[in-house]
Every structure is written in structure tokens, then in C-alpha cells.
Amino acid sequence: MNSKKSVQVGDIFAIPLPMNKYGAVKVMNIIDRSYLLGTTSYIDEQLPTIESKAVHHILITESLADGLEKPLFEWANGRVPKELIFIGNIPLTADEIGVESNIYAGEWTKECGIDVYYKWREETDPIEFELEMKRQIEEADAYARRQSVPKPKKMMDDQVFWEIISLLDWSKEDEKEIIEAAIKELSTFTVWKIRHFEETLSYKLFLLDTEEHAKEMGEYCFSPQDQHFSPDLFLYARCAVVARGKEVFEDVLSNPSKMLKDTEFEILLSLSPEAYYLKRRKEFEYESGCSYETFSNKEGWSNTL
């Protein structure tokens, strides 16, 4: 349904929601192929138009981090989902220019504006909504328990993988310049080899995904009694370990106390997508056998999960 070829700041996209409702999101900022999206307060059975009043207002929700009510902004990567409907462009207001967010939603999907639906359900039918959410959580937990231990798919030869990682140029200050040579080298491989590299990277990050490593990452380390632990930050900290090469990775893997402290290197996750785009001029779509997202390694978090 989406026919927008190039996304611009201020673009408004309608989103199909459950119960035959529609919501809408506004593009607040664009960096490379990442989009900062603001979920608007619009929710109705009618498709919104650019004149719809609620489309001009960003949804206010309670922040999980500090309990304060704030406008909902989150970053998403990739193309506009085909289910979204472009309805027009509303230039940013003075208050909207330069807004920031540290919330990362992953790939841009049709679920990007679902929070307005959740808030509407909480306000209009709180009892049934709570029961519905509880059922969904129970079903998700039951499904997770039925799954087998994740296993990696076909991986790249370990020596070749580390040779590519060794091309990271730490003499540079800009992160994009640090990974530039590695991206160029990886782009010379076949499409399947790029996928094998991504599988290898995912698996190594998966192996580092343990409670013991999370406890040793520095200021924002994991602690059952402290709520400041960030799963995303721990992922980026694990990226920093892999980025430092084979010896550091193997040393930290076997000795969690040697986990790099207060260090992150999120941009390592862009190696495969950037190399693939350089080679094919297409978005990189691949699902690894072992997820690198924090808490994916169930054995590594057996005392917590």
C-alpha cells in the first residue's frame, strides 16, 4: 500500500492497528537509513488525513526508565513497511526540531505505532486489556520453553572472519572511518559469504551474552537489585569485545572478569548490512540462527531468566 519512494522529515504514515483502527507516525529525523519516528496520538476507525488534529500531536506516554511522561520517539532501520500508508507531510514545529531518543525499535515494521493502541485499550477497557496482555505473555513464555537450544547456521571460516575484523582502523577517530576498510573487504565476498560473516558475528556475540559478562561491563553493569542495566548497551559492549580481535574475544569469553569496561562499539553491527548494500544496492535481510540480542543465550542467564 505504501507508494512513497523517498522518505522525508515530516512525512506522516498511517498504520493499521488491531480492532480495525488506524494510527499514524511522523518522521522526525533521518540518519543514513535510520529513521526517528514519533508516534502520534491519532487512533480512529477512519484513515487519518493531513488535516486530522491528532496527527499533529505526538503521543505522550510514561517512560519505563524514569516513570515520567514524555513524547514517544524511537529509532527504526530499513524501508517503510508496505502496510503503511503515506498521507502527507507536516513540517517539524520549533519544539520538534532536534528532538533526540535513545530508544531503538530495530527494523521498521508495521508495529511501529502500536503504543497508541495499547494506551487506548488501557483507557477504554483496562480489565480486559490486562487479561489479554497476561495471556500473550503466558503464550510467549510457553512457546519459548518449547524451543530447542539455538544453533548457528553456516558460518565463515574463523580465520577469514578475524582477518576482516583486523581491518578495523583504530588510528581513526570517526567510527565510520574505523570500519570503512572492513566494509570494503567484506563487500568483495559473495552474498552467501556476507551472510556467513553475519552468522559468525552473531554467534560470537551470543556466546558473550551471559550474566557473568554483564556484571563486568563497567558503570552500567547488570545487578538484580539495580534497574539501570541496559540490554542494548550490553550488546554494544559485546560488540566492542569482538571488534578488538580474536585474542581479546577469546580471553574475555573464558574470563568474564576481563570484560571491557565502559566501552561500546555499536557500529560493528552495520558491517554486514553496509557491505551487502555496497555490493547489491539492496537492504540486507538475514535472520541468524543465534540471536545476538541480550538475554538470547538462555544458558548464560540461567540464574536470572
Place of cell 512513497: 4
Would the pLDDT of 139 be above 80? no
Is the backbone of residue 295 left (phi > 0), alpha (psi -120 to 50) or beta? left
Q: CA 143, CA 133: separation in Å to the nearest integer?
A: 15
pLDDT value at residue 4: 58
What's the mean pLDDT in 153-182? 95
169 Cβ contact list (under 8 Å, min separation 6): 177, 178, 180, 181
**Most confident range, picked from 58-62, 66-70, 285-289:** 285-289
- Residue 159 CB coordination number (10 Å): 8
CB-CB contact of 300 with 209 (8 Å):
yes
Q: What is the mean pLDDT of residues 38-64?
A: 90
**What are the residue ranges spanned by the domains of the chain?**
11-140, 158-301
pLDDT at 143: 62
Confidence check: pLDDT of 153 > 70: yes
Residue 151: which pLDDT band, with cuts at 50, 70 and 90? confident
Average pLDDT over residues 48-56: 95
d(CA 253, CA 210): 10
C-alpha–C-alpha distance, residues 259 and 248, integer Å: 9
Max Cα–Cα distance, the chain, nearest Å: 59
Q: Does the global pTM surpass 0.85?
A: no
pLDDT band for 145, please (50, 70, 90 cuts): low
What pLDDT does 110 receive?
87
